[in-house]
Structure 1
Amino acid sequence: MLTIDNLTYRIQGRLLLDGATARIASGWKVGLIGRNGTGKSTLLRLIRESLQETDSAIRIGKAAKMGWVAQEVEASDRTLMDETLSSDTERAALMHASETVTDPDELAEIHERLMTTDAWSGEARAASILTGLGFSQSDLSRACREFSGGWRMRAALAGVLFAEPDLLLLDEPTNYLDLEGAAWLEAYIRQYPQTVLLVSHDRELLNNSVTHILALENLKLTVHPGNYDSWQKKRAEQLALAQAQKTKQDKQRAHLQSFVDRFRAKASKATQAQSRIKMLEKMQDIVIPLEERTHPFEFPASEELASPLFVLDDADLGYREGEPVLRNTSLRVDNDDRIAIVGANGQGKSTLVKSIAGRLKLLDGNRVSAPKVEIGYFSQDQLDELNEGENALDHVRRMRPAATEGQIRSIVANIGFNRDKAETKVEKLSGGEKVRLLLGLTALKKPNILILDEPTSHLDIDSREALIHALNDYEGAVLLITHDVYLAEATADRLWLVNEGQAAPYDGDLSDYRALVLAADKTRADTGNTKGDPAPAPPAPKRSDSDVRRATTDIRKRISASEREMEKLRGDLANLDAKLADPTLYDRDPAESQKLGADRDRLRAALDSAEEAWIEASEAYEQAARA
């Protein structure tokens, strides 16, 4: 289907690909991965442009139809359904011909082709794709100009999926999708009958949808069967093997060089020395690829405050009086909360977090914050709030006016900007660099509550992994809106569901929620329910946060006590192991070594008991929270 043969490409003098070669067979679902800036999107562009080139290092299967999302759908008066149907140009031409052609033989051929391509089910198929991507049935008859740019990007994605090309190219397709849309797309790609090549940093998508990984590293392309996790495991094994081989080679080289240095001047050993010199010259260096270091994120919390940190009590949230987006909202945030907020786009997730962050005034009800509470808020919308013409130093200087120039540069370096990047104007920064700057500025506030609304759209996989580590090390509360299931599962332990004008704790985990979302899509497909509104998301449970908190007070105390006990025992074990690691201990004081060994057995048994108590308390908490 796709052959890349000895491709070398430079852009503005910078080498992106050097003799890169890869072959992709028909029907493969391939994830193209690599660090930000390595040239993934450029490679997709070169593949698209290869259709117009007769002599190219990139070759597409004969007569294959290629499809991609070039730009958002135009803001026209055409309906969403008509725009999607027109994406399949062959179908559109045949449907038009079926109404205008009068010759019976030609008309028969047209109808035969329409039957072969299942053109008559086009509207139902288009409706299924559009609703899967988050549009309601009522949206399908609305003009495209009525939708925002993000939704028109979804419409463009729907169009290319509907056209069903032989080679489907997708560049970060989940960036404009919510968790529900991403889950649907994941299943759609897995079942897609043709070949797919997609660029994505969404680990869940790469694990559950692709059959192969195409890795762009060190200016080369390599194809690996399996998903992202299997590629990562194999890559780690290859690096370990290369390191072992290099260590062995270094020892061999040192041994040969030692012989040459010792005996080169001796006539009796001259021949042997020359032989070893030739062996050294023929020995090819084993090169270990340098791991690019991802700068860590850091979120230092301010002093711990008494819970609750924040409470919404019977509040109406929205933008206009009399038109609330969410009604009768009662939620609370405590010190140890890690909450992922789920719900389809347009249901009010961002409205909820903006109200908590104080960016929206309540329409009704009460909003109570703990004294001195600091809330850190990040949203993709804030990327536009960065000041063009200014650099990272200018933004930090505004937040720390009393800091010296050296202190400001140190802060900017800790955020992840080296000397050159620190002085780069905002408009010249990449999307990922802007996200890093905004997250760094948010961290400077030392918040008690960290609210992140889609923080990963411009981050590569390694940066997302660094964000996970930072959030898990962070000591404050976290509220997270994300389509990245891997991020949510790694950092959140509870869910809030925003659906049909309500926001409340959700009785289940992300796996439960995703399964119900996909089951609702399957039910609509099986019953042919494409004319009604999409099946609603699962209902929110009736219990409020405060009910759950009251019901689990004693259990949470047991969990905290077990965690403190485990931390203490692990520290004692580490100190004991340091003493037992002394090789002279056993000869110097056998009795002491025996006593320390017995103490270690006792501490290990105590730690096992503490861990068992923690597991039992955690399970009891989950059962009580679901009751």
Structure 2
Amino acid sequence: MSASSKLILKSFPNINNDISEYVESVLETSADEFENVDDVYEAIGEVLLEVEVDKSEDDIRDICQKLLDILKPEHEQTKTTNGGLHRMLNAPIQLNDLVSENTAEDVNDPNSIWMKNADDINRNVNTKAVERAEELAKKKQDKRDMKETKPVNNYRQVEATASQVISKKDTRAEASGNNNSRDIFIENFDICYGEKVLIQGANVSFVYGRRYGFVGRNGLGKTTVLKMISTKQLFIPSHITVLHVEQEVVGDETRAIDSVLESDTVRVNLLDEEKELQRRLNENDDPTGEAGTRLNSVYSELEAIDAAKAPARAAVILNGLGFTPEMQERATKTFSGGWRMRIALARALFSKPDLLLLDEPTNMLDMQAIIWLERYMQTWQSTALVVSHDRNFLDEICTDILHLNSQKITCYRGNYSEFYNTMVEKLKAQQKEYESQMEYRAHVQEFIDKFRYNAKRASMVQSRIKMLEKLPKLEPVIVEGTVTLKFPEVDKLQPPILVLSEVAFKYEGTDRTIFRNVDLSATMESRICIVGENGAGKSTLLKIIMDKLTPTSGTRSVHRNLKFGYFTQHFVDQLDMSVSPIEIMAKEFPGLKGEEYRRMLGKFGISGDLALQQTESLSGGQKSRVAFSILCAHNPNFLILDEPTNHLDIETIEALGHALTKYNGGVVLVSHDERLLKMVCQELWVCSKGKVYSLDGGLDAYRKIVEIEMQL
């Protein structure tokens, strides 16, 4: 235990544990900023006053002085030595400051330094001490400057930092321990990424029971905000439980369903206590009779939280996310990363935190699971904050939308479509008001300029000048630049360019046939979208199309000049994170000029400083654009895209849809983003239950089939 902690416990023996931890954390994190006792008192004084009402403000200040002496002994300003005042020389001496601290008698004293002439002063001042003080002050400033420098990671990437002004009201409410509200107010906070300001002066309110969608362009800081909330770098009351679904479950021998059940720590602790109490009773190890009484209380608590129904509830959640009964019994280590992320999502839904943070939850889900999650989240009773690129998903689950733009966060009521319509109308109204005022200003200014030197109208001119000064200064509406993606022009190939005939496939050493009797074809005008549940064989079909896998039976024939461009999230993850996008392009296409690399990247929105930043510092969507730049620089004439929307923002997905419709090569797209599918799809292939077939009616027909199957 630290000396400051011991002093607090000694001075306040009845202090609450939560308040004690709060005070210790303030002292630990803010020690370097304390310059005097007033700083310490301002940070924790009012909290300590409420802990012990018998202590006066002077008593608390004495304790704060002792804490300052412990935390920063070098800042101990005054000590009484042999009845005289001794001041530590830790700063340059300012004589005029010292004058103000002495009385008139001191100044008039003939032996006082104030009555001596300049030569006497120069002889009496210890110049070496002054030089030493200046040197110490310089070292102190250098040390402070070093602390203000942002930490960097292995790639020399700066870390995001948050700062927030916490009101005394919030501090007192937290210290009192009586705050039972489950509404959350995060006020007056900034978030920076190195020297770049992401968010400035933002205020966000989360009303308990509402579901918030968090939208904005890639790279503006949405994921960073979620991390700041989950790590409590932004102030969240301590009684609020927060769960951020960010990392996949660690694979071990634990069964999938047990992993979900273990997330409810209250239930787990009560069950463990029940076993221990039962053991004591069975072994007659209960001389006081307390075990029996406590056991009855445990039973009541288990009944209150419906502990008996927990396994069934966990199974329902896992089943909705695509886990069959057999899969629920398997060890977590047997699942891939995507399925472990589903387990992490299931744990979050099962444990029911006060604030659930979801970052792109639909990325690892097929359409069946997305529809189930939509319905489940519609009944979610606590607060949820969701970052998602899936416009349809946001429309289905959100009651409010938070929009991050121009370093501000604005809240809109309603789902995404309602937000978008409201925002468009709001921007139109703001632009109209701005243009109207500018027109009015120009008209008044014209009058002023015309009669400025007319003596008869001087009073009228002055009146209009004052009127212009009083008009509120409206800022022009800042409209986000549109995202534009451009795929390369390619030469036409005469059909047929791709034909699958009677194709069947199964992996060597297995009995399961993935699919059979596949008869499909594609042309340069094809816009084919493939849907189906996870594990049905969509990626396998793509590999057969590209000749990465050989069919077990049947034939595959392609045009000799067909050149595939294959995009998958796996390629994004393989980018060299330690260099800039321009350096990546230079490694992939050596010998070209820098302007050519910039042109390649610029087609996918990686321009200006983005092209020079380290790839690690880019957002997930920006990394995907770098991968698209590499893909298209190879000039493919047939694109194979496997879940390309992961980590792209809504605006970029729209731009991708428009770019694919304009591309004059062939396209095969695997995606569960309904907005993109509706924009691109001209032919829908369904890969399900050992079959691959073309479905008339498109995505709407497929969604109806899925909903019917879910009801069975």
Residue among 414, 439, 443 paired with 2:632: 443
Please name the residue that 1:138 is paired with: 326
Contact between 1:167 and 1:195, CA under 8 Å: does it hold in 2? yes
Please name the residue that 1:164 is paired with: 352
Contact between 1:80 and 1:155, CA under 8 Å: does it hold in 2? yes
CA distance in 1, matches of 2:587, 2:185: 52
CA distance in 2, matches of 1:166, 1:27: 9
Residue among 25, 45, 59 paired with 2:227: 45
CA distance in 1, matches of 2:336, 2:425: 46
Question: Partner amino acid for 1:154?
Answer: R
The secondary structure found in structure 2 opposite 1:292 is coil
1:12-58 alpha-carbon deviations (Å, 9 max, x no partner): 233233222232222111111122222222222333344xx8xx7x4
CA distance in 2, matches of 1:283, 1:380: 53
Please say which structure displays the higher CA radius of gyration: 2
CA distance in 1, matches of 2:618, 2:407: 23
CA distance in 2, matches of 1:136, 1:271: 85
Please name the residue that 1:94 is paired with: 270
Question: Partner amino acid for 1:456?
Answer: T
Q: Which deviates further from its counterpart, 458-467 or 340-349?
A: 340-349
1:248-276 alpha-carbon deviations (Å, 9 max, x no partner): 10011112222222222233222222222
CA distance in 2, matches of 1:296, 1:231: 23
Question: Partner amino acid for 1:142?
Answer: R
CA distance in 2, matches of 1:93, 1:445: 58
Shift of 1:349: 0.8
Please name the residue that 2:682 is paired with: 493
CA distance in 2, matches of 1:430, 1:347: 31
Question: Partner amino acid for 2:358?
Answer: L
Alignment of 1:56-455 (within 5 A): 58-60=235-237, 63-102=239-278, 103-317=291-505, 320=508, 325-387=514-576, 391-394=580-583, 396=585, 406-455=595-644
Question: Partner amino acid for 2:225?
Answer: L
Contact between 1:308 and 1:333, CA under 8 Å: does it hold in 2? yes
Contact between 1:350 and 1:453, CA under 8 Å: does it hold in 2? yes
Contact between 2:245 and 2:344, CA under 8 Å: does it hold in 1? yes
Contact between 1:319 and 1:360, CA under 8 Å: does it hold in 2? no
Shift of 1:224: 1.4
Please name the residue that 2:154 is paired with: none
CA distance in 2, matches of 1:15, 1:447: 39
- Residues 424 and 15 (structure 1 numbering): CA distance in 2 closer, same or farther, change over 3 Å? closer
Contact between 1:318 and 1:351, CA under 8 Å: does it hold in 2? no
Alignment of 1:487-526 (within 5 A): 487-523=676-712
Contact between 2:186 and 2:205, CA under 8 Å: does it hold in 1? yes
The secondary structure found in structure 2 opposite 1:347 is coil
Shift of 1:81: 1.0
Question: Partner amino acid for 2:656?
Answer: L
CA distance in 1, matches of 2:634, 2:488: 9
| TM-score calculated relative to the size of structure 2 | 0.68
CA distance in 1, matches of 2:653, 2:461: 53
CA distance in 2, matches of 1:218, 1:406: 29
Contact between 2:226 and 2:244, CA under 8 Å: does it hold in 1? no
CA distance in 2, matches of 1:452, 1:366: 23
- Residues 196 and 77 (structure 1 numbering): CA distance in 2 closer, same or farther, change over 3 Å? same
Q: Which deviates further from its counterpart, 284-293 or 460-469?
A: 284-293
Shift of 1:205: 0.8
Contact between 2:253 and 2:331, CA under 8 Å: does it hold in 1? yes
The secondary structure found in structure 2 opposite 1:483 is coil
- Residues 451 and 389 (structure 1 numbering): CA distance in 2 closer, same or farther, change over 3 Å? same
Please name the residue that 1:575 is paired with: none
Contact between 1:211 and 1:226, CA under 8 Å: does it hold in 2? yes
Higher relative contact order (CA 8 A, sep 6+): 1
- Residues 393 and 65 (structure 1 numbering): CA distance in 2 closer, same or farther, change over 3 Å? closer
Alignment of 1:592-611 (within 5 A): none
Contact between 1:301 and 1:447, CA under 8 Å: does it hold in 2? no
- Residues 277 and 194 (structure 1 numbering): CA distance in 2 closer, same or farther, change over 3 Å? same
Question: Partner amino acid for 1:499?
Answer: S
Shift of 1:392: 3.8
Contact between 1:347 and 1:500, CA under 8 Å: does it hold in 2? yes
Please name the residue that 2:58 is paired with: none
Does 2:673 correspond to 1:484?
A: yes
- Residues 281 and 396 (structure 1 numbering): CA distance in 2 closer, same or farther, change over 3 Å? same
CA-based RMSD: 2.5
Shift of 1:446: 4.1
Please name the residue that 2:21 is paired with: none
Contact between 2:199 and 2:407, CA under 8 Å: does it hold in 1? yes
Please name the residue that 2:206 is paired with: 24
The percent of aligned pairs where both chains have the same amino acid is: 38
Please name the residue that 1:461 is paired with: 650
Unaligned runs of 5+ in 2: 1-182, 279-290
- Residues 10 and 391 (structure 1 numbering): CA distance in 2 closer, same or farther, change over 3 Å? closer
The secondary structure found in structure 1 opposite 2:534 is coil
Contact between 2:218 and 2:620, CA under 8 Å: does it hold in 1? no
Please name the residue that 1:470 is paired with: 659
- Residues 393 and 13 (structure 1 numbering): CA distance in 2 closer, same or farther, change over 3 Å? closer
Question: Partner amino acid for 1:35?
Answer: R
CA distance in 2, matches of 1:338, 1:20: 43
1:281-332 alpha-carbon deviations (Å, 9 max, x no partner): 2222222342232441112342222333211122233553666533343321
1:441-485 alpha-carbon deviations (Å, 9 max, x no partner): 333344442211010112111111111111122233321111211
Contact between 2:214 and 2:388, CA under 8 Å: does it hold in 1? yes
Q: Which deviates further from its counterpart, 473-482 or 105-114?
A: 105-114
Shift of 1:211: 1.0
- Residues 280 and 318 (structure 1 numbering): CA distance in 2 closer, same or farther, change over 3 Å? farther
The secondary structure found in structure 2 opposite 1:367 is strand
Shift of 1:239: 0.6
CA distance in 2, matches of 1:390, 1:350: 30
How many residue pairs get aligned? The number is 517
Shift of 1:170: 1.1
CA distance in 2, matches of 1:302, 1:360: 26
Q: Which deviates further from its counterpart, 355-364 or 273-282?
A: 355-364
Residue among 189, 198, 214 paired with 1:7: 189
| TM-score calculated relative to the size of structure 1 | 0.77
Unaligned runs of 5+ in 1: 524-627
The secondary structure found in structure 1 opposite 2:462 is helix
CA distance in 2, matches of 1:11, 1:448: 39
CA distance in 1, matches of 2:377, 2:688: 26
The secondary structure found in structure 1 opposite 2:490 is coil
- Residues 433 and 317 (structure 1 numbering): CA distance in 2 closer, same or farther, change over 3 Å? farther
Please name the residue that 2:125 is paired with: none
The secondary structure found in structure 2 opposite 1:415 is coil
Contact between 1:298 and 1:443, CA under 8 Å: does it hold in 2? no
Shift of 1:94: 2.2
